[in-house]
Structure 1
Amino acid sequence: MEARTLTREADGMAVASFVLGLIGLLLFNIVFGPLALVLGSLALLRGTDRRGRALLGLALGAADLAVLAAELVNSHGALWNIG
């Protein structure tokens, strides 16, 4: 593959990491948080031109997991109550 194609893919991963991290703050943080972390890390390893977005994706992915941990602590392990 060309170097430009690899950079473009890494740029796409950086943007996807940012978007998934942002969405993960509101929905499905148990899924979107780790995905944001993985994509952000891969984008940085592959030399993205959008380094800031990849770093924001990493930060938001970590925040997603922190929100999940806070929800678990506050609900004593029961996120959904029936009845």
Structure 2
Amino acid sequence: MELTRPNTASTSTARARRRFDANGMAVASFVLGLVGLLVMNLVLGPIAIGLAVLALRRGTVRRTRAFLGLGLGVADLVVLAIVMSTSDGSAWSIA
């Protein structure tokens, strides 16, 4: 049985692809967190938080954007809690 060295080209390609995916997750987290402040807080907030955490774990280059997405995802849930606590059970009203 002959021992061979692992193919470093394919390993570096996989590592680059994983980092590229993490960068996309960081940007998606930021965008979803920002949109979630306006609509669908309950859905988009947790998704933004999850994508930001995954991007940070996978070593994204866009760490600031991932942290912003994390903060905006938390802000989505805070806004939802404030709106629900001040609401009288009816639809949203400005007045």
Fold match (TM-score > 0.5):
yes
Give the alignment's TM-score, normalised by structure 2: 0.80
Deviation at 1:2, TM superposition (A): 1.1
The correspondence for 1:17, drawn from 9, 29, 32, is 29
Matched, 1:29 2:35: no
Q: Supply the RMSD in Å over aligned alpha carbons.
A: 1.4
Matched, 1:8 2:20: yes
Distance, in Å, in 1 between the alignment partners of 2:42 and 2:35 is: 11
Give the alignment's TM-score, normalised by structure 1: 0.91
Distance, in Å, in 2 between the alignment partners of 1:75 and 1:26 is: 16
Aligned residues: 80
Structure 1 partner of 2:91: 80
Where does structure 1 lack aligned partners over 5 or more consecutive residues?
none
Residue identity matched to 2:46: P
Distance, in Å, in 2 between the alignment partners of 1:44 and 1:14 is: 8
The correspondence for 1:42, drawn from 50, 54, 74, is 54
Residue identity matched to 2:58: R
Matched, 1:67 2:79: yes
Deviation at 1:79, TM superposition (A): 5.2
Structure 2 partner of 1:53: 65
Residue identity matched to 2:83: E
Runs of 4+ off more than 6 Å: none
